[in-house]
Amino acid sequence: MKRKSIIFAILCVLMLVSGCSSQSTDDIYQMMENASSKSNGSESSGQSDMVSDNSPRVYTEDYKECNKNYMPELVQTGETAKVTIGSRNDTLSFTVTDALITDDFSDLRQLTSQAAYDNIRNFLLYVETDDYIDEQGNILDSERGVERKALFVKLSIKNENNSEYTLPIHSLSLYSIKKENSVMKYRRLKGTNDGGPICANAPDAFTLKSASKITLQPGEEKEEVLIYFEEDKWVEQYTYRYDKDIGKGVYGDLVYGDDISYDNIYFSTSFMYESNNQNKDRGYFEKIKSLIKLDIRQE
């Protein structure tokens, strides 16, 4: 799934540069399907260039400092963030109404209907190619072997445009925010799609191609529950290598930091795309115009 997110970001840039509308993503997703089927070995660490041999490399993760002049709008749960992005002035409104973190996936039923719960459970168990839950609703460890929790975010999303808009949800990431000496620092939560969510309520369809898209008609507002499977501890350092023999990346030598505090978690309203490269990550983060502070209930 992480690979699909990276491919999506690259294709978004190419289509925008070529003058294509950001509102039409079907071609992007088709190219993602084709590229994904041809590449079963590429892996981005989110930290540096791709590893091309079997030698493990050491990576570190920490909070990143923002430019001192960066001042996003900080919005509270229950308030609406109206965000305009891109040369086409695409505009969406986001209103977060609830957030819940839990060890038990079945707690999703507190925020959505039984029918929606059954749909997303079946999708995760029998359609999705990555493993997030088991039959009993237990949440599985991340690909790095770190314990995860499910963080459910209930919100409404409104299309403020005069034309149909298809929202790819990959960039709606969660961040831990803190200030030190008047400087904002941020760190992205990881665990699903390198931070991105999965739709529970109203995706275009529960298929690999459409489960991460929400299409809104002009003026339409939809209620959605986004699912984030997030690592429950900060990883300060780890090694990574790509093993060609088994066809996947291998993580090791993890050095853990503190447990994650859920008191200062913010929802990103940047709905275009996001980099998985740490050298570009700050530039993308500082383009986020509004951050919504989550009041997270814990089960």
Give the separation between CA 63 and CA 40, rounded to whole angstroms: 31
Parallel, antiparallel or unpaired: strands 174-180 and 148-159: unpaired
Joined together, the tokens standing for residue 31 give 């190219």
pTM of the model: 0.77
Helix, strand, coil % over all residues of the chain, rounded to 5: 20, 35, 40
Strands 183-188 and 64-65: antiparallel
- Read off the amino acid at residue 294: L
Does residue 34 have a pLDDT over 80?
no
- Per-residue pLDDT at 267 exceeds 70: yes
- Euclidean distance between CA atoms 29 and 41, whole angstroms: 19
Strands (E), 197-274: 198-199, 213-216, 221-231, 233-243, 248-259, 265-268
pLDDT for 283 equals: 59
- Write out the two tokens for 258: 């503190």
Half-sphere exposure for 162 (CA within 13 Å, toward CB): 2
Residue-wise pLDDT for 89-124, tens only, equals 889 999 999 999 999 999 999 999 999 999 999 999
Give the rounded percent of residues in the chain with a pLDDT score beyond 70: 76
Q: Quote the CA–CA distance of 212 and 200 in Å, as a whole number.
A: 10
* Strand intervals (E) in 9-135: 57-60, 64-65, 73-76, 80-85, 90-102
Mean pLDDT of 263-281: 69
Which band of pLDDT confidence, cut at 50, 70 and 90, is reported for residue 49?
very low
Q: What is the pLDDT of residue 88?
A: 82
Asked whether residue 292 carries a pLDDT value surpassing 60, the answer given is: yes
Q: How far apart are CA 133 and CA 54, in angstroms?
A: 30
Per-residue model confidence as pLDDT tens digits over 167-203: 888 878 899 998 888 888 899 888 665 657 888 887 8
Q: What is the pLDDT of residue 294?
A: 97
The share of the chain scoring above pLDDT 90, in percent, equals 43
Classify 125 in phi/psi space as left (phi over 0), alpha (psi -120 to 50) or beta. alpha
- If you ran DSSP here, which 8-state letter would residue 288 be given? -
Q: CB of 228 within 8 A of CB of 150?
A: yes
Is the separation of the CB atoms in 102 and 297 below 8 Å? no
**For residues 172 and 98, what is the distance between their CA atoms, to the nearest angstrom?**
16
So what's the pLDDT on residue 70? 80
Half-sphere exposure of 147 (CA within 13 A, CB side): 9
With the C-alpha atoms ordered 61, 66, 72, 75, is the resulting torsion angle positive or negative? positive
- For residues 27 and 211, what is the distance between their CA atoms, to the nearest angstrom? 15
Burial of 87 (0-12, 13-18, 19+ CB in 10 A): exposed
Q: Report the distance separating Cα 267 and Cα 96, nearest Å.
A: 9
Is the pLDDT at 60 greater than 70? The verdict is yes
Q: Across residues 266-284, what is the average pLDDT?
A: 64
Q: 201-246, pLDDT tens digit by residue?
A: 878 878 777 778 889 999 999 999 999 999 999 999 999 998 888 8
